Structure 1
Amino acid sequence: MTHVTVEEHTVADRVAGPYALTTGPDGALWFTLVQSGRIGRLVPGEEPASHRLDPDCGPTVITPGPDGALWFTETAADRIGRITIDGDIDEFDVPTPGCGPFGIAAGPDGALWFTETAADRIGRITIDGDVTEFPLPVTGAFPSAITAGGDGGMWFTLNQATAIGRIDMNGAVTLHSLPTKEAAPVGIAAGRDGALWFTEIAAGQIGRITPDGQITEFPLPDRAARPHAVTVDEQGTAWFTEWGGNRVGTITPDGSVTVHDLPTPRSEPHGITVGPDGALWTALEIGALARIAPVGSAT
């Protein structure tokens, strides 16, 4: 079993709600503060900073764009935001009112792709702010996280439809139903072997899907852990957060699972990413980012 060290770095007060985070092109961690309407920035070893948005806009997921800026969803405001590494902010309305944009990721076509949780659509926004929306062939599906696959398509979770979807660059959609009913998939990330990893928050499982739709599900030791987000490190190991279990875990391509407790009880880990220092970082809703590194790695 790999042993890890966990360090918590306070970045906001306990009600600000750090939710998602990513590594920016400037070597900093960028994160959303969903409850306070801010975008935060942390260089490991330095003091955190943040940039103010509309306090009620609900920034959720954030990702690097192809233009050297960071792009994020404003779920409560039905907008897509863009922030440069200098802190300049642009915001773009999504045409469908009440659509609830959530997941966002850069695509292979030089645009950003995002999910619309309340409108059963996948959206695409160019770096100039032009938005196109593609309807899904299901209703009430609650499309959630999205990521670029290694096959030239975008893959996403359908939380309420218990399925994984794929959309190509022309808007054609393919859906793959999960074996476990009401599994409620949320997070998704591309692996190093062409497959994708995803979390099943209601089933307490981690799933893996190949580009041709072959699905394998791996039960977690704690089926009530409520796995939420997932990312993949350079070695191809998938790391995930257990929102209900107050842990982070790893799963190897052969399905071997290891979990690690977080030091603060009920810290509510959400997003997780590989940081600029090569360690894993997760956003804790209690107002902190946690750094997770194997024992003996650089700090």
Structure 2
Amino acid sequence: MPADNLPVTAESPCSPLITEYDPYWQGPNTGSTHEVAITKDFVFVSGQLMDQIAKFDHAGQLLTHFNMPAGSGPHGLLIDHEDQLWVSLEFAGSIVRLDENGGITDHIDTTIRASGGQFNPAPHGICQGPDGSIWFTGKRTSTIGRVMPEQYAVHFQLNTLAALPIFLSPGPDGSIWGTELLGSAILRINPNQGRVLEYKTPTPNSRPIGIIPDPLLPYMWFSEEAGRKIGRINMEGRIQEFTLPLLQPNHILGSLTFDLEMNLWVQVYIDTTLPGLPGPDYLLCIDKAIRTSTDPYLFGVALTTHKVPSSRGMLHRIKTDPAGNLWFTEMMTDKLAKVTLNAG
């Protein structure tokens, strides 16, 4: 690693240690570091415009790059129940499984074939259901897709046109849950019924981003980029929103994750498309008391902020590893970062 590109670290007493790592993408494109997926040994990051997947160990050491087909646009990452890596190739309209050396072993064509022609749904977010089936969002076609055991895709249409579904996660009820960025709704599809239900957020134009299950309770939690709120939805579709006291009016939200203590961590970053003061990107840690709170302003729930070393990063995804550390991506600064808890 070049001496002038050492990992950047932020540390203060009694606080998490945040360390940034450079994926060293190869090629002319930058500003496109997207998803993160974690196994017990490795951390994988997608570089969409770079047509690469970066592989790190849990110490943050870059091990190698997996080169994807030119112009394929790798985005979504999934570690399946057998610890195998799947990647959605958004621009190519396919989903692939990789071996340990980054070779493609399975290839699923997600093309939608209709009387009007053939359409690439732009598979974006991917997840695995409890039954082992793989699901993906059709970002371009407002569809949800399912990979069948015979390795072909079936598609389910959303009721909302131009909904821009982007993120999926299995829920405690066995359904697949997701976010509609432009539809400002939470979606749910029961694998046994094949019917998509949509639940509008109480806040209009909220632009929901990430969605994850509660560690124990029958809820899904989601972040609202423009709404600047966190939402909780039960299995019947009832939504409770929580307003977050962000530091600046031009701060918006990225994704979210629970740590092993069941505290909720949310990415907060400066929206560079809007006028406003410069400021820090940071992680907001919300005490686990939020999981049972009914106060929309989180009265009595402790919140702490943790500044990210870089700024204007467009924080994108965040996940928790088996040891309890957090990993997140910074899309525009092309960095992977690790949050080592209990570092102080």
TM-score, structure 2 length as denominator?
A: 0.80
Alignment partner, residue 228 of structure 2: 204
Q: Distance in 1 between matches of 2:261 and 2:90?
A: 33
Structure 2 stretches lacking a partner, 5+ long: 1-12, 113-118, 271-279
Indicate conservation of the 8 Å contact 1:112/1:125, yes or no: yes
Q: Distance in 2 between matches of 1:105 and 1:34?
A: 18
Q: Distance in 1 between matches of 2:96 and 2:244?
A: 35
- Is 1:21 the equivalent of 2:45? no
Alignment partner, residue 106 of structure 1: 128
Alignment partner, residue 273 of structure 2: none
Indicate conservation of the 8 Å contact 1:98/1:118, yes or no: yes
CA RMSD of aligned residues (A): 2.1
- Is 1:293 the equivalent of 2:340? yes
Q: Distance in 1 between matches of 2:31 and 2:182?
A: 27
Alignment partner, residue 49 of structure 1: 64
One-letter amino acid matched to 1:60: H
Indicate conservation of the 8 Å contact 1:22/1:274, yes or no: no
Q: Distance in 1 between matches of 2:228 and 2:21?
A: 28
Q: Distance in 2 between matches of 1:161 and 1:2?
A: 41
In the TM superposition, what are the counterparts of 1:137-286 in structure 2 within 5 Å?
Answer: 137-169=159-191, 170-192=193-215, 193-222=217-246, 223-244=249-270, 246-251=281-286, 252=288, 253=291, 254=293, 255=298, 256=301, 257-285=303-331, 286=333
Alignment CA distance shift 1:19-1:172 (3 Å): same
Structure 1 stretches lacking a partner, 5+ long: none
Alignment partner, residue 6 of structure 1: 18
CA apart distance, 1:219: 1.8
Q: Distance in 2 between matches of 1:178 and 1:84?
A: 40
Indicate conservation of the 8 Å contact 2:15/2:343, yes or no: no
Indicate conservation of the 8 Å contact 2:33/2:330, yes or no: yes
Q: Distance in 1 between matches of 2:150 and 2:45?
A: 23
Indicate conservation of the 8 Å contact 2:108/2:147, yes or no: no
Q: Distance in 2 between matches of 1:188 and 1:81?
A: 23
CA apart distance, 1:2: 7.0
Indicate conservation of the 8 Å contact 2:324/2:341, yes or no: no
Indicate conservation of the 8 Å contact 1:228/1:270, yes or no: yes
One-letter amino acid matched to 2:308: L
How big is each residue's C-alpha offset from its partner over 1:141-175, in whole Å with a ceiling of 9 and x where there is no partner? 11110100001100011111111111001312221
Alignment CA distance shift 1:55-1:277 (3 Å): farther
CA apart distance, 1:127: 5.7
Alignment partner, residue 81 of structure 1: 96
Alignment CA distance shift 1:2-1:130 (3 Å): farther
Alignment CA distance shift 1:148-1:202 (3 Å): same
Indicate conservation of the 8 Å contact 2:67/2:102, yes or no: no
Q: Distance in 1 between matches of 2:100 and 2:324?
A: 20
Larger Rg: 2
The alignment-based identity, stated in percent, is 26
- Is 1:63 the equivalent of 2:78? yes
Number of residue pairs matched by the alignment: 296
Is the deviation greater in 129-138 or in 116-125? 129-138
Q: Distance in 1 between matches of 2:259 and 2:16?
A: 15
SS at match of 2:92: coil
Alignment partner, residue 91 of structure 1: 107
SS at match of 2:251: coil
